[in-house]
Every structure is written in C-alpha cells, then in structure tokens.
Chain A
Amino acid sequence: MRNDLRDAALVELRSRIVDACITQAALEDGLPLDVLINDTLYHEKKRLETDRQSPVRAQDAAFWDDVKSRLSKAGEAELKEILKSIVERFTEEVRGNFSPWVYGMATKVMPKALPLLLNALSPKRLMSRGMPDIGETINIHGDVDTLRRMNELGTVILAPTHLSNMDSPVIGWALFAMGLPPFTYGAGLNLFTNPVMSFFMRNLGAYRVDRRKTAPIYKDILKEYATVALEMGQPNLFFPAGTRVRSGVIESKLKLGLLSCGLRAYINNLARKKDRPNIYVVPCTLNYHLVLEAETLIDDHLRIEGKSRYIIDDDESSRPRKILQFTNNLVNLSSRITVNVGSPLDPFGNAVDPDGNSIDGHGRVVDITKYVTDHDGRPTHHPQRDRVYTREAGLAVAESFRKHNVVLSTNLVAFVLFEMLRHRHPELDLYRLLRTGDEGTGVTVAELTRNVGHVWDAVSTLSREGKITLDSRSVASGDAQVIVQSAMRHFGTYHTHPVMVRRGDRVFTEDMNLLLYYSNRLRGYGLERVVRRAIREAS
C-alpha cells in the first residue's frame, strides 16, 4: 500500500477500533473499558514473560507497566486515553512500508534474489555459484486475464495454497509478471527477523503480524486493518490455510479471517455508495515438484498426528546447503513452479463472470447486494449471518483449490508407489507402514509404470471433467514411462535420502515419510480405488 494511503488507513483504523470499544462498553452486556484494558494488559504481560527474543521487549514492558499504574486511578476520560494509546501502539507495530523505489528494484533483482529472500545466505557465496532465473522457473497458468480484469473492476483478495516459505516471494514475483501491482499482505513476524527478507517484506507492502500477541483487541486490529485496506481499493494477499500445510494435502480446512474482512469491506463499500464496491476472491494454487521444507513439514505432521506412534530420528541438515541444492535443481532439472490461477468468486462464494457479475449455478446473474440489505434496502452487518456467508465462501475456495491442484510427476508417482506398498500390507496402520516401507524389496519398474498408467487415465478423466489440472510438462503426455522417469529424476537429487531410487529393474523407497508427503497431494479424489483395482486385475 502506498504510504499516503497507508497513513490514511491507520487513522481510519484507529478511530474505528476506539469507537467500537467505547460503543460496546456502553451496552448492558458489553465489556467495560477498564475490564477490556485489564484483559489486554493481562495477555501482554503473559506474552512478555515468555517472549524473551523480542527486540522491543524492554519498551513493551515499560509501556504496559505505565498502563498498569495509570489504570488503577483512571476515571472515564483517562480510560479512553489509555485505550487510545494501546490502539496506537498496536497499529504502529502493524504498519507496513511501501517504497516504490524498492519495489522497482526488487522486481529487477527478484529473479536473482529469491534465495536471498529465503535465507540470510552470504550473497557472495551465492553469486559465485550462479543462480537460476526465477522468471523462467515460475510458470503461470489459469485465468490470468480474468484476474487482471477483476483488479480493474473491484478489489481483489488473492488466496493461494500454502506449502512453503517460498510461497510469498513466488507469488510476489508472479503478481509482477502478470502485470499486477504489489498486494498488501500480513506476514508473520518471523519473516521480518531475517534482515534481507525483512527489507523486502517491509518495502513491498507487507504488514506485520505478531502471532504471539493473543489479546483479542490486537486480533481485531489486524482484521480491521485488512478491511480498511480493501475498502481503500488495496488488493490483498491472504493464505487461507493460515500456515504451511504440514501433510502435503491440498488444504480443505481454511482459516476464514481475511475472507470475512472481504465481506465486511464489501458491506461498508455499499453503505458508502463506493464506485467499485465489489470484492473478488481469486483462489490460486502453487505447485512444486519438490518442496523446500518437505522433510521438516511431514515430520511435524506425523509427530502431531501420530504422537507416540511416531518417533523421529532428527536429521536436520544445514539449511544453506539445502537451498543451494534446491535452486540448482530448478536449473538442472528444468523443474518448474506452477502458479495456477483460479476463477474469481464473490465474498459469498458465488462464481463471477468476466464482467464482474456474480452468477448462480446456472449462469444467471445474481444481485448480491440483496444478501446484505435489510427490508428497506440498507446494507447491514449481521455477524452471525456474515459468518455463515464466509464459511460458504471458504468452501468455494477449497473447491477451487481441488480443481486447480496441478498433478505433477512427483505427486503422481509417489501416490502410486505409496498405494502399492499400502496394498502389500493392508494389516498395518499408517505408522507401522511408514516404518516397514518396502522391506528392501522394492517394486518392479514395470509394475510401477503400469499402475502409473492406470492412475494417469483416471486423473486425465478428472481433468477433462474440470476436477483437477494436469501439468502441461511433466505429465500431460500421458506416457507413463516418461512420467516415472521425470519423478525419479526429481526425487533422486534434492532430499537427504532420495524418495525413491531405481536399481536394475526395481524401484526402492528410501524415505517413506516423503513418499507419503508427495503422495498426499492427490488424496481426496478417490484415486486409491484405481490403484487397488489395477493391482487386483494384474494378479
């Protein structure tokens, strides 16, 4: 967001939050201001007890001590002053910074700077090794023209899937490559601790989100900031998964935070009779042959889900080395990151036609103002109703993710191999299966290829029905042999243990967790049955 707009947004944000606090305190069952302030004080004190890393810990502690001492003898007027100072402090922390100069520079250096963004690597060392050009690495597919058009007709919330810390820079680059302006977006404080990343984040319009702050008023401030930004016509970027998806599946349980801001902003726009009141939600998927943090992520997932049934032997390799390998792979394997842009939705989850009109299941134009207006045609907020609307929009986003999920050779082959091993040991639960693996016997290349062929038939049928997307490079040919080779090439190089390796006429699994991780991307399409049937028919 441009700095002048951002400052206007902050003023609006502060007055909204302070007004809301005062209005609700006046209600019979509202939270009185002193209780509200005390509650915030409690949450912040509690955070400061454990949050010893924070660079502003001392200032924070002093601020809250001051609040505490003022609070004890505060009258009504003083309470409002304390409230204002708290809101001001929180909003000041949130503010982002947008520098057109940095943006211009970043879009020039971004192609070469991606690894820098990911980690504070020594730039000298990276330069000496040479780096891939990100412009050739990121493929952009899907409904790009409509996305551009929606950005002209209204305000866009871009909602990508979230697998990796690479996602933000990848999307940042993709937006530039599509000729779109930088999007406002809330980034976790952890992304600001790395100095290089922080420089870019701040200057590209990201605002800061401190997940350790648990005070309800802080969360209100974050949501309202996004709402105000949307009302000012600032496009927003928002990862509905909330965090990187640990298991590798295509996300179905979404956090609805910013979607609800979209609806709120839309209603406010209607009430103010804004020119372009519409908010468009554009889901998109990010698809990687190999995921930078796959090993850590699936470990995390299994540890949480499996509890004692899963014990990890920690084998963290150094991150700089991993990133170099990863970028090398992007060059050497002509590995591509695919950004697949979905069709736009309105804040209620309806589809939108190219003219920006919402349409129903039969393509009939829907007057969506009716969803939020009262009997006299006045736009109204109705939190219970709006929560259900947002939930429905969330379902539509999840559905779009499934459709725009891109089938890559690594996912397809991992899926088939994992299901073959599962079929071999139907009596084992997941955790035992992960420990058992292929018992060192592997499967024959011929079997694997044949089954990949069967599953490819099934996914290409799904793709024709518009239920999934096929990668145009690694799988579209439908040649099972080529698909298996492509997957083997990717799997053999990057991870600590190759996911699978070929020895003679057999394929061996070296890392069952990663095999599971990469196979999970194709869960939820009923493809397990296809593998089972193929195995039964062959035997």
Chain B
Amino acid sequence: MSGGKRATVIGGGSWGTALAHLMASSGADVRLWMRNEERVAEVNEQHTNARYLKDLPIDDKVVATSDLEEAVRFAQTIVVAIPAKHFRSIAYEMGVFVTGDQILLSATKGFEAEHLKRMSQVLREETCARKIGAISGPNLADEIMAGQPTATVVASPYDEVIDAGAGLLAGPTLRVYGNHDIVGVEIFGALKNIIAIAAGGCTGLGLGANSLSMLLTRGLAEISRFAERHGSQRLTSIGLAGIGDLIATCSSPLSRNNTLGRKLAEGKTLDEALAEMHKVAEGVNTTEAVHLHAEHLGVDMPIARGVYAVLFGGEKVNDVLGTLMSRANRYEHTERPIDEPEPITGSVVETALAVATRRPG
C-alpha cells in the first residue's frame, strides 16, 4: 500500500534515481522524469539505471516517463535533481504546468554560474511556486541505493515544505532534519564540491589524515565566511548540510568531485579527467562562479582560489598546495596574520605602549 503518497522526481541521473528509489521504498508512488526514452524503458522494464547506478535494483513503484507535463501534474511534491547547468531551462519548462499549491524541492548542489543564483532561487524565478525547499546533507547516491543509514536536511522557510519532504524521504535508513536556513544549506551543499576536488587532490598526492583534516577544517571556515556574507546562519556550518556533507564528500572515493581531484593530481588535465568520467562534477562550474564572485565581494577564499588555478589556470596540484602552505600564519577565527600587530583597542595608553615595543631600537 502506498497510503496515497505521491512524488515526482525531475532528472534521472544517479541522485535523482536514488531519491526516486528511496521515496518509493518508503511507500510513495513515484514518477521519474527523464528525457532519454531508452533509459525510461530500462527503468520501467528492467528496474535499473545502468548508466548511473550500474545494476542496483530500483523499486518498482518508480515509474519513469519522458512526458514533463504528466510528471509535474502527477504529484503535489516535486523533487528536482537536474545538473545546475540545465536547471533553469528545465525549471522554465516545468513552470508552464506547476501550480501555486505544489511543493518544489531542489536536490541539486550547485550554483548557476552566471549570476551565482542558488537552485531554489531559480525555481522561484521560473515557476509560480512559493513552497520551495532544498535537500542536502551527507547523501552519496550509491550508499543510499545500498540501503546504508544516513541523514538528510530538508531546508525551507516554510514548515509545510519541511513536513512534506520528511513525509516522503524519511524511512528506516534515512533520518530527516529540518532547517529554515535554506541560504546556508544550499551554499554549503554547492561549495563543499570545491573542497572535495581539493581533497581528491590531496589523496591523489598520497597525503594522509592530517592533511585532509586541515583541508576540511579550513575549507569549512572559508565556506562559512562566504555563506554568512550571503545571510546564512552560523550554526548551519556545523550541521549535516555543512560539516556533515563535507566529511562525506571529501572522504569517499565515490564522490565525483573527489575523483576529479584525484585524476588532476595524477597529472591529467581538466578535459582529460572529465572525459574519463561520464557523470557531471558540479564542483567545476561552482569553483569558477564562486572564485570570481568571492574576489568581487572581497571574501578571502584561498582554497577555492587554488582549485580555480588548477582547473582553469593549468597549475599543478602540488604547486598550488605549496602556495597555500606558504601563506602567512593566521589566527584561526579572525584571519589576522600572526605577525601583524594587534588592532588598536580603546585604551590609548596600551596602544602607545604597544607601538613603543614594536619600534626597532
């Protein structure tokens, strides 16, 4: 029995298919929209999506379709898992059929490169829907398909959206947490991919746990700076969508961005590395967009700058690592270089004394 629960997933890549499978296993009737007719037939007849998920079996309550109108009209809640690059055009097409009572959840972790728009913003602009949310967290598609336990975050300003997301996604292997800070959740989801590429680079160079841990922690710090600048709440960084997702993506060999980083460390160019993978590595577009935007905003993001230099500047992973390691030593939270004098406080006497000590001779 489905208990009348219904959901639609737009996008039949690995994550979209995994989400469709997950919701079907929790009892929902699911429509999975994908453009490719052959793959529609494969899902409906063989219950597999071999291109993305090898021979992992997909729940038979997942029915694939290439008819967007049918898919959109099928359910009250629609999960959109389309690569960031094509997200807007599909959202626009959906916009013809979406009605104001429907709930749209973005499952894509990425930014629209040109204006650095978050995916939920794109959904808002391209459709009349208001009840919009985002799904994020430590959710590697293959592990979810294998039924391993994990947790996810459904973020939205609307309680109703969080409730609907939890109702569809929660199950014996998935816990759902709600968060009103959709800005933070989406920014962490997108920017962790940059750090994942860097982490792959570290692994590729044969570096160990210390290096990886440094990368993750400092990566988290720079994403937090960026996110807070856009209005995110600080606590989101230590949640599932923040540090949680970062740990998963950076430590798993299954992550695409991680894989890309490894290939780059092996000396391959970006084009060569991408040619060997047939999945989209969102981190590439995100790195470009975020690096340029951060420069413009004046937010210091040294790791993103380094990854950008490797991806688009043809620099070697090793050289970039050297540059990062030779940066001035800093205070951990204020970012003030250690060898710089303390900022002037209210006390004139203290300031005068400090200046006197500083003067050579």
Contacts and interface: CB of A to CB of B under 8 A. Distances in A.
A366 B159 CA distance: 23
Contacts of A348: 130
Contact of A370 (B92, B101, B158): B101
A421 to B, nearest CB: 23
A361 interface: yes
Nearest to A365: B128
Interface stretch (A205-213, A382-390, A478-486, A506-514): A382-390
A370 B100 contact: yes
Given A350-B128, A367-B100, A373-B101, A362 B159 contact: no
B315 interface: no
A362 B95 contact: yes
Interface string B19-35: 00000000000000000
Nearest to B159: A384
Q: B125, B130, B157, B160 — which one has the most chain A CB atoms within 10 A of its CB?
A: B130
Contact of A382 (B126, B127, B160): B160
Interface in B154-169: 157-160
B99 interface: yes
Contacts of A360: 95, 127-128
B354 interface: no
A196 interface: no
Interface string B243-268: 00000000000000000000000000
B96 interface: yes
B92 A362 contact: yes
Interface string A361-387: 110101111110101000000101100
B160 A366 contact: no
A368 B130 CA distance: 10
Interface string A384-402: 1100110110000000000
Interface in A335-368: 348, 350, 360-362, 364, 366-368
Nearest to B131: A385
A385 B128 contact: no
A384 B125 CA distance: 22
B130 A371 contact: yes
Contacts of B101: 370-371, 373
B341 to A, nearest CB: 17
A338 B160 CA distance: 43
Contacts of B130: 348, 371, 388-389, 392
B158 to A, nearest CB: 5
Contact of A388 (B76, B100, B126, B158): B158
A361 B125 contact: yes
A373 B160 CA distance: 13
Contacts of A389: 130
A255 B242 CA distance: 32
A382 B347 CA distance: 53
Interface in A399-413: none
Contact-residue size bin, chain B (C-beta under 8 Å from the other chain): 10 to 19
A362 B160 CA distance: 26
A375 B103 CA distance: 13
Nearest to B101: A370
Contacts, number: 41
Residues of B contacting A: mostly: loop
Contacts of B125: 361
Nearest to B96: A364
B116 to A, nearest CB: 16
A388 B126 CA distance: 19
Contacts of A391: 157
Contact of B99 (A350, A361, A367): A367
Nearest to A360: B128
A369 to B, nearest CB: 8
A292 to B, nearest CB: 35
Contacts of B95: 360, 362, 364
Given A350-B128, A362-B92, A370 B157 contact: no
A388 B251 CA distance: 37
Contacts of B160: 382, 384-385
A369 B100 CA distance: 8
A370 B127 CA distance: 14
Q: B100, B101, B159 — which one has the most chain A CB atoms within 10 A of its CB?
A: B100
B231 to A, nearest CB: 12
Nearest to A383: B159
A366 B92 contact: no
Contacts of B158: 384-385, 388
A391 B127 CA distance: 18
B339 to A, nearest CB: 22
Contacts of B96: 364
Contacts of A382: 160
A370 B99 contact: yes
A361 B126 contact: yes
Nearest to B180: A388
Given A360-B95, A392-B130, A366 B157 contact: no
Interface in B128-145: 128, 130-131
Contact of B100 (A368, A384, A392): A368
A392 B128 CA distance: 13
Contacts of A392: 130
Contacts of B126: 361-362
Interface in B213-233: none
B99 A388 contact: no
Interface in A245-282: none
A369 B101 CA distance: 9
Contacts of A361: 125-126
Nearest to A374: B101
A389 B131 CA distance: 9
A368 B76 CA distance: 16
B210 to A, nearest CB: 42
A237 to B, nearest CB: 27
Given A364-B96, A367-B100, 15 more contacts: A360-B127, A360-B128, A361-B125, A362-B92, A362-B95, A362-B126, A364-B95, A368-B100, A369-B100, A371-B130, A384-B159, A384-B160, A385-B158, A385-B159, A388-B158
21 contacts: A348-B130, A360-B128, A361-B126, A362-B95, A366-B128, A367-B99, A367-B100, A368-B100, A369-B100, A370-B100, A370-B101, A371-B100, A371-B130, A382-B160, A384-B158, A384-B160, A385-B131, A385-B160, A388-B130, A388-B158, A391-B157
The 4 residue pairs across chains A and B that have the minimum distance between CB atoms:
A370-B100, A370-B101, A366-B128, A360-B128
